[in-house]
Amino acid sequence: MSAQLQPDAQPAPLAAVNDFVVKFANVNGSGSASANELFAKAILRMGVPVSPRNIFPSNIQGLPTWYEIRVTGAGYLGRRGGVDLMVAMNPQTWNQDLKEIEPGGYLFYDNSKPLPASRFRTDITVIGMPLTEICNATYSEARQRQLFKNIIYVGALSVLLDIDPGVIEKLFSEQYKGKEKLLESNFKALHLGRDYASQHLPKIGLRVEAGDGVGDRIFVDGNTAAAIGCVYGGATVCAWYPITPSSSLAEAFQKYCQKLRVDPVTGKNRYAIVQAEDEIASIGMVVGAGWNGARAFTTTSGPGVSLMTEFIGLAYMAEIPVTIINVQRGGPSTGMPTRTQQADLVSCAYASHGDTKHILLFPEDPHECFDQSAQAFDLADRLQTPVFVMTDLDIGMNQRLCAPFEWDETKEYDRGKVMTAEDLDSGRDFGRYLDVDGDGIPFRTWPGTHPSKGSFFTRGTTKDAYARYSEAGPDYVYNVQRLLKKLETAKSLVPQPVARNARAATRFGVIYFGSTSPAMSEALDALDAAEVHVDALRLRAFPFPDSVRQFIEAHDLVFVVEQNRDAQLRGMLINELEFSPDRLPAVLHYDGTPITARFITREIGDRVRAARKSS
Amino acid sequence: MTYLAKPKLHHPTLPQNRVCRTRRDYEGKISTLCAGCGHDSISAAIIQACFEMDVEPHRVAKLSGIGCSSKTPDYFLGNSHGFNTVHGRMPSVLTGANLANRALLYLGVSGDGDSASIGIGQFAHVMRRGVNMVYIVENNGVYGLTKGQFSATADQGSASKKGVVNSDTPIDMASLALQLGASYVARGFSGDKKQLVPIIKAAIAHKGAAFIDVVSPCVAFNNHPGSTKSYDYVREHNEAVNRIDFIPRKEEIVVDYAEGQVIEVEQHDGTILLLRKLHREYDPHNRVMAMNYVAEHQAKGEVVTGLLFVDNSARDLHEHLNTVDAPINTLAAAELCPGAATLAKINQSLR
């Protein structure tokens, strides 16, 4: 039991090395994002893991934006919750920003204009620096004043937090290679900040100390990673329509294709990217290209999937390989376009009218965005059906420290069951919708294959095993049952779940997926340390492999943690595996911010303790 | 769309074309449309055009949307892959298919409901992009499959079979195609095969977005007095601006025309269109004139037919995208996957 604090007693200023949260409150369009990223990268280059998150508005200029950086020597890359040092650069959000600071934390602000004492808290350390004054004295142009203010505060913070200025200078040199003038002016701004801080500002309790916690890991956002995965996975056709938070994926695909996919002799492109007129056209193009033997994908977010639904049903029914990367955001409707959620599970898994089920993949970080995007094309070709890569804004648009990308050169693309002219000439029976191997997957032919054999008519209407139009009940039942069998086959082809056992045997389990992963890893450590033992299973795909059923059967109570209101994954587990709802309590976080380790630890900790008491 | 195969009995003396096929090789299943339907005449015109052009049937991909017209690809070119897509969305599927394999001939078949109502957006954008294809709208001004509702091409003031008068202004697909940048725009009439077949042949030879609006009366729901899409109405008001005599390449031009009446139009592939002018002032190379001409005559209740516009130097979507010459779907993994060593460099750039 700790001694009771006197009402007036102030908490001691926070002290931590390589374990704190810095949040920058800025105005968007002011150039702060690149300065804040520079700050994060500098710490990373010192060998200390960081996990930044950009919290931005659906707007181009003038609205509040935040950049939260978790400095984490222990390597916990989820959001922790709470802020230890607030860099308050936006008067619009002053009150809200001030409130978020942990007791004993720090506030760094621009004190060019004096503020009354009533605008501050007394339980934090306040550090003022006349940033505007310094800028106005140094620069004459308005844009320069604005941009270099950001670099100046990075310089000041580097002194406060003991960040190696050499590292920042090196980052500048890399960024402004060949642009000497820019390099010089950034150096100057950095040192303006550093000099002022050294002379005028007090030391604080938070510090960065060089370490070796980063290793060979890379620092990349999920959209870029998925785009590179599409290049490696052999995607040749990308049709897309701009939508936050997925646009940067298509743009990254374009960028890497321009580097990696141009024929060196002719200068011509080994790819085709079309910005379509809407999401319906995007998916239509992907369906057409997939039908015609190209590896094709689209990238979108929830509202786009809603528009694509009819085509997704066609691709399911006509059995056409399609890859859709859904960078999820807060829904429904326009919802929270610049915030994160995992709320499209049901709309994707069962997209379209009638009985449909689709393959979903759940990457946990950019590394898996790369892997699963590349793998999606193999799965789509093998299973001849739509495959969704279900990433989200948290993974997609934030740089995340992750294992480097790997590529096994011995592995070939799996183009699935495609009959060639030689196959057809050898007398093999071709029934487009005939289950010849017992796995539910029929053979297909690409248009133009053979002068007299193998052509067929593709349609969303019912047909017999030889693709002939049929409204006969048995033909319909044969086909839709075969589609189910195909889904059974998929269970062993999709990425399998990853299990993590608690330190001691337990009757409690937790199921989670996707961007919840880093917060969950940290929460599981904290729970284990608090003697709350929970076995964990991270799902990586739908349909659920048999090991998911086994995991649930092996535990009395399995928490299902997800970032949506309606416990969508839980509902799918109950429906698909027919478990009792009582066995699968929901742990839900859906306010648009990424789930935190503190939230999971508290929710599961409390409920396990309550369950223990009642049993 | 019931399934009725045609018996494969070929008369041994049937003439063959230069790819050793008879006309029968270009046929499909037996049509299930109403007897006298204009769409069947268009299917027959497509068959004749492909036969006479020596098109290899399996090198054609035929795509459609939903509706009576969209059923027809099953009734021609039985050895081609066909795709009955989604209502109003054939253009996007055709675009994707074309991106995957530029070496095939793409034939999009649609109707006025499919292209002018639900699908007007995709119609507009596929024309803008210059997708290399032949896009035929079988235009009867009415929804046949759902029994006689007006479509967006129905003329204002025209009456339905039940006597309802259409109050909406019509969309003219050919004018729209002209405005949107289609590089080949023509209008035909299903009742005039002599005019239609050369129009289709020239469209096949054209590289770029070729659009043909074919007025095709619906005998069941839109062939009555008061309709402006009936056989009688179109015959009476047909205003043909020219007639194409399509001359395949390297063949001597033997047709004799009076001077000033004929224009030679050389296509991308070397084929030559001989265009017999029916109106001295009509210039099919002038997009703006074409738009004005169609509008002026339409205002008089006339249906302007013929080759309305052709741009023989058009570029297609693949040229715009600078894609490789080989069909993209034939590229091997070695040409697509940059490999592990490059990935190591990418990793290094992300540290």
Cα atoms in the 13 Å half-sphere on the side-chain side of A523? 29
Q: Do B100 and A451 touch (CB under 8 A)?
A: no
The nearest CA of chain A is from the CA of B137 a distance in Å of: 19
Task: Tell me if A416 is assigned to some domain.
Answer: no
CATH number at residue A311: 3.40.50.970
Return the higher-pLDDT residue of A438 and A145: A438
The residue of chain B with its CA nearest to that of A41 is B351
CA gap B200, A170 in Å, rounded: 65
The dihedrals phi and psi of B153, each to the nearest 5 degrees, come to: -95, 0
Q: What is the mean pLDDT of residues B295-311?
A: 92
CA gap A534, A525 in Å, rounded: 10
Residue B256 has a pLDDT of 56
In this predicted structure, the answer to whether residue A251 has a pLDDT above a threshold of 80 is: yes
With a CB-CB cutoff of 8 Å, which residues 19-78 of chain A face chain B?
A: none
Mutation target to probe the A interface, by most A beta carbons within 10 A, among B322, B324, B325, B348 is B324
Task: Tell me if A320 is assigned to some domain.
Answer: yes
CA gap A557, A615 in Å, rounded: 12
Residue B274 has a pLDDT of 76
Task: Tell me if A214 is assigned to some domain.
Answer: no
Q: What is the mean pLDDT of residues B26-47?
A: 94
In this predicted structure, the answer to whether residue A265 has a pLDDT above a threshold of 90 is: yes
**Same domain? A36 vs A97:** yes
Which of A154, A179, A207 corresponds to the end of one domain? A207
Mutation target to probe the B interface, by most B beta carbons within 10 A, among A175, A241, A274 is A274
The nearest CA of chain A is from the CA of B170 a distance in Å of: 24
Whole-number Cα distances in Å, B33 to A186, A246, A427, B43, B71: 74, 45, 34, 11, 9
CA gap A312, A449 in Å, rounded: 26
SS3 A308: helix
The H-or-E segment that residue A206 falls in is strand A206-207
Q: What is the mean pLDDT of residues B320-349?
A: 97
- A176's CB contacts (< 8 A; 6+ apart) are A182, A183, A186
Q: Do A232 and B97 touch (CB under 8 A)?
A: no
Task: Tell me if B15 is assigned to some domain.
Answer: no
Q: What is the mean pLDDT of residues A284-300?
A: 98
Task: Tell me if B147 is assigned to some domain.
Answer: yes
In this predicted structure, the answer to whether residue A551 has a pLDDT above a threshold of 70 is: yes
Whole-number Cα distances in Å, B118 to A412, A528, B67, B124, B158: 42, 58, 11, 12, 21
Name the least confident of A146-150, A162-166, A378-382.
Answer: A146-150
CATH number at residue A140: 3.40.920.10
Provide the number of structural domains found in chain A: 4
Q: Do B84 and A281 touch (CB under 8 A)?
A: no
The residue of chain A with its CA nearest to that of B332 is A234
Model confidence at A60, pLDDT cuts 50, 70, 90, reads confident
The H-or-E segment that residue A41 falls in is helix A32-45
- Partners of A320 in beta bridges: none
SS3 B288: helix
CA gap B244, A422 in Å, rounded: 41
User: Out of B81, B322, B350, whose CB is closest to A269?
Assistant: B322
Range of the domain at A189: 16-207
Q: What is the mean pLDDT of residues A336-364?
A: 97
Residue B10 has a pLDDT of 67
- B269's CB contacts (< 8 A; 6+ apart) are B205, B207, B249
Q: What is the mean pLDDT of residues A185-210?
A: 96
Task: Tell me if B350 is assigned to some domain.
Answer: no
In this predicted structure, the answer to whether residue A58 has a pLDDT above a threshold of 50 is: yes
Q: Do B328 and A270 touch (CB under 8 A)?
A: yes
* Closest to A106 in 3D by CA, of A114, A98, A116, A96: A98
Q: Do A272 and B99 touch (CB under 8 A)?
A: yes
Number of Cβ within a 10 Å radius of residue A381 = 23
CA gap A221, A225 in Å, rounded: 6
Number of Cβ within a 10 Å radius of residue A23 = 23
Mutation target to probe the B interface, by most B beta carbons within 10 A, among A167, A228, A292, A462 is A292
Model confidence at A1, pLDDT cuts 50, 70, 90, reads very low
Please tell me if residue A266 touches chain B, with a CB cutoff of 8 Å: yes
Residue A5 has a pLDDT of 45
Q: How deeply is B302 buried, as exposed, middle or buried, from its count of CB atoms within 10 A (0-12, 13-18, 19+)?
A: middle
Q: What DSSP assignment string belongs to A116-128? A: -GGGS-SSSEEEE
A543 cis-preceded (ω within 30 degrees of 0): yes
SS3 A469: strand
With a CB-CB cutoff of 8 Å, which residues 312-331 of chain A face chain B?
A: 314
Q: Which residues from B are below 8 Å from A370, CB to CB? A: none
**Same domain? A483 vs A555:** no
Residue B4 has a pLDDT of 67
Maximal C-alpha separation, chain B? 76
**Same domain? A485 vs A528:** no
CA gap A554, A413 in Å, rounded: 37
Please tell me if residue A254 touches chain B, with a CB cutoff of 8 Å: no
User: Out of A237, A260, A268, whose CB is closest to B96?
Assistant: A237
| Residue whose pair of structure tokens reads 């900790």 in the numeric block | A605
**Same domain? A239 vs A321:** yes
**Same domain? A251 vs A181:** no
CB-based contact B139:B153 (threshold 8 Å): yes
In this predicted structure, the answer to whether residue A3 has a pLDDT above a threshold of 80 is: no
**Same domain? A43 vs A143:** yes
**Same domain? A193 vs A224:** no
User: Out of B59, B85, B344, whose CB is closest to A448?
Assistant: B59
CB-based contact B155:B141 (threshold 8 Å): yes
CA gap A44, B267 in Å, rounded: 61
The residue of chain A with its CA nearest to that of B104 is A448
Residues A94-142: tens digit of each pLDDT: 999 999 999 999 999 999 998 998 999 999 999 999 999 999 999 999 8
Q: What is the mean pLDDT of residues A381-392?
A: 98
Q: Which residues from A are below 8 Å from B54, CB to CB? A: none
**Same domain? A151 vs A270:** no
Task: Tell me if B130 is assigned to some domain.
Answer: yes
The residue of chain A with its CA nearest to that of B349 is A218
Which of A207, A230, A257 corresponds to the end of one domain? A207
**Same domain? A488 vs A504:** no
* Closest to B141 in 3D by CA, of B36, B222, B225, B205: B222
How many beta-carbon pairs below 8 A join chains A and B? 230
CB-based contact B191:B303 (threshold 8 Å): no
Provide the number of structural domains found in chain B: 1
The residue of chain B with its CA nearest to that of A413 is B333
**Same domain? A232 vs A381:** yes
Which of A468, A493, A518 corresponds to the end of one domain? A493
Output the six-digit token pair for B127.
């024309």
| Residue whose pair of structure tokens reads 């029916």 in the numeric block | B278
Please tell me if residue A294 touches chain B, with a CB cutoff of 8 Å: yes
Residue A62 has a pLDDT of 84
Cα atoms in the 13 Å half-sphere on the side-chain side of A36? 28
CB-based contact B19:B59 (threshold 8 Å): no
CATH number at residue B60: 3.40.50.970
Range of the domain at B249: 23-335
Whole-number Cα distances in Å, B329 to A294, A446, A511: 5, 9, 40
Name residue A195's amino acid.
Answer: D
b/e code B17-44 from CB counts within 10 Å (16+ = b): beeebbbebbbbbebbbeeebbbbbbbb
In this predicted structure, the answer to whether residue B250 has a pLDDT above a threshold of 60 is: no
Q: Do A451 and B2 touch (CB under 8 A)?
A: no
Mutation target to probe the B interface, by most B beta carbons within 10 A, among A253, A258, A285 is A285
Residue B181 DSSP one-character state: T
For chain A, the C-alpha Rg in angstroms (whole number) is 27
Handedness of CA B269, B271, B277, B280 (dihedral sign): positive
Whole-number Cα distances in Å, B93 to A270, A515, B69, B74: 20, 33, 17, 17
Q: Do B323 and A451 touch (CB under 8 A)?
A: no
Mutation target to probe the A interface, by most A beta carbons within 10 A, among B328, B330, B345 is B328
The residue of chain B with its CA nearest to that of A399 is B350
Angle at A507 between CA A506 and CA A509, to 5 degrees: 90
SS3 B150: strand
Q: Do B100 and A236 touch (CB under 8 A)?
A: yes
The residue of chain A with its CA nearest to that of B90 is A284
Q: Which residues from B are below 8 Å from A469, CB to CB? A: 1-3, 74
CB-based contact B107:B133 (threshold 8 Å): yes
The nearest CA of chain A is from the CA of B3 a distance in Å of: 6
**Same domain? A504 vs A489:** no
Q: Which residues from A are below 8 Å from B8, CB to CB? A: none
Q: What DSSP assignment string belongs to A559-573? A: EEEESSSS-HHHHHH
The nearest CA of chain B is from the CA of A400 a distance in Å of: 11
Q: How deeply is A426 buried, as exposed, middle or buried, from its count of CB atoms within 10 A (0-12, 13-18, 19+)?
A: exposed
SS3 A521: helix
Residues B253-271: tens digit of each pLDDT: 555 556 557 777 777 777 7
Q: How deeply is A91 buried, as exposed, middle or buried, from its count of CB atoms within 10 A (0-12, 13-18, 19+)?
A: middle
The nearest CA of chain A is from the CA of B298 a distance in Å of: 30
User: Out of A263, A272, A293, whose CB is closest to B321?
Assistant: A272
CA gap A112, A91 in Å, rounded: 12
**Same domain? A385 vs A269:** yes
With a CB-CB cutoff of 8 Å, which residues 523-542 of chain A face chain B?
A: none
Q: Do A457 and B84 touch (CB under 8 A)?
A: yes
Looking at every residue in chain B, the average pLDDT score rounds to 91
* Closest to A202 in 3D by CA, of A160, A165, A163, A161: A160
Tell me the ipTM for this assembly: 0.94
Maximal C-alpha separation, chain A? 92
**Angle, to 10 degrees, between the axis of helix B120-129 and the axis of helix B173-180?**
40
Please tell me if residue A353 touches chain B, with a CB cutoff of 8 Å: no
